[in-house]
Amino acid sequence: GQQLNQSPQSMFIQEGEDVSMNCTSSSIFNTWLWYKQDPGEGPVLLIALYKAGELTSNGRLTAQFGITRKDSFLNISASIPSDVGIYFCAGQLSGGNEKLTFGTGTRLTIIP
Amino acid sequence: NAGVTQTPKFQVLKTGQSMTLQCAQDMNHEYMSWYRQDPGMGLRLIHYSVGAGITDQGEVPNGYNVSRSTTEDFPLRLLSAAPSQTSVYFCASSYSMAGGVGQPQHFGDGTRLSIL
């Protein structure tokens, strides 16, 4: 099946630093989604991207839908302790096929 | 508004036992799905449904059955549990897509299942 390569697998940063992560696919997607998962909970949607080249922000988070439709990027500015968690990208085809393909996740840890 | 509710939150089974994981949503979503989450592998789709009475297989369907008799409920059944099915299971729901525009999925908090 389709696979999404998400990198980096883990990040150790200090509070206040900016964070960047990305997701690449061997296939084209028409929707890119970014989720955050806290321990013991299900993924929560952060940002949804529906158009190639689209740049969308949600507070300190900014995500971009790559022009080729095979990649997406998530940036977090001025990280704070509550940003700790696992971030997942997901690609979704349109045209009546709602199945999501998930990346393997980026685990973000903030060093005191 | 409860969203997506999964029960139980934790379960331990012996190999060969059967069990049903429950999932209910109160958002009148047509699309529901089950994922399993294993370390280092992200979420993998087990089965999904695009509406009451319609189900289809995902990426890893073997060992699992589903049914969708109502819009609200989408139970996942393990007929004969195996240690390889030890995982965290997530149910998700969303509106069906229209006009090619994606509709994000909403996830439950998961069921942590251990098979001994």
How many angstroms separate the CA atoms of A47 and A88, rounded? 11
Q: Give per-residue pLDDT as tens, B46-57.
A: 999 988 999 999
Closest to A43 measured CA to CA, from B72, B87, B46, B35: B35
Q: Give per-residue pLDDT as tens, B50-88.
A: 889 999 999 899 999 999 999 999 999 999 999 999 999
Cα dihedral A100, A103, A109, B3 in deg (nearest 10): 10
Of B42, B92, B101, the CB nearest to A88: B42
Q: Under an 8 A CB cutoff, do A41 and B110 touch?
A: yes
Q: Under an 8 A CB cutoff, do A98 and B31 touch?
A: yes
Query: Which residue has 């998400």 as its token pair?
Result: A6
pLDDT above 90 covers what percent of chain B? 75
Q: Under an 8 A CB cutoff, do A100 and B105 touch?
A: yes
